[in-house]
Amino acid sequence: ELAETAKAQPNLTLRQQLELHRENASCASCHRTMDQLGFGIENFDAIGRWRETDASQPLDTRGELPGGGGSFTGPIELTAVLRSKQCEFGECLAEKMLTYALGRGLEFYDRCATAKIVKSLKEREFKFSVLVTEIVKSEPFRMRRGEETQTPEKH
């Protein structure tokens, strides 16, 4: 739908397109939350170049973290808000990355591994390399079951 909006109204900024997109209730349920974070990094285009305009209009990089977690304008303020919530951010990031690495949702029995990953992140200044290393070393990742394969029957 977003691509159709962009074609039909090429002079709209991405933010304006997303506002139209959120008019669809099924889209709004997720986009209402995640679009806010994206607005904070809108100064970066699709390949990471800095920009000040979109569709020849000044960028509106205002956003707000979900649940009243703080408002920001642009990537520097977004970074500051996230840094002020390092523990929550680290925990959320660890959970999402472990979910991705495992290829499944987290279960109650993954809590110990998640807590250990978060503890290591806190001790080592929330470095991304620590996150990746701790996930790979975690029991759920190492003990992950592979896909079941069917072997051909022998005749």
| 4 band by pLDDT with thresholds 50, 70 and 90 | confident
Domain count, the chain: 2
CA gap 95, 153 in Å, rounded: 41
Last residue of a domain, one of 31, 57, 82: 82
Residue carrying structure tokens 């990355």: 97
Sequence-distant (6+) residues with CB within 8 A of 48 are none
- Check residues 144 and 124 and name the one with the higher pLDDT: 124
Last residue of a domain, one of 82, 98, 115: 82
34 and 19 belong to one structural domain: yes
pLDDT tens per residue, range 84-129: 998 898 999 999 999 999 999 999 999 999 999 999 999 999 999 9
Residue 65 belongs to some domain of the structure: yes
Residue 149 belongs to some domain of the structure: no
3-state secondary structure of 64: strand
Residue 26 belongs to some domain of the structure: yes
128 and 61 belong to one structural domain: no
pLDDT tens per residue, range 62-91: 999 988 889 999 999 999 999 899 889 899
103 and 129 belong to one structural domain: yes
CA gap 112, 118 in Å, rounded: 10
Give Cα 14 distance to the centre of its chain: 18
CA gap 40, 65 in Å, rounded: 10
Mean pLDDT, residues 4-33: 84
Domain span holding position 98: 86-142
Contact by Cβ (8 Å): 59, 43: yes
pLDDT tens per residue, range 34-45: 899 999 999 999
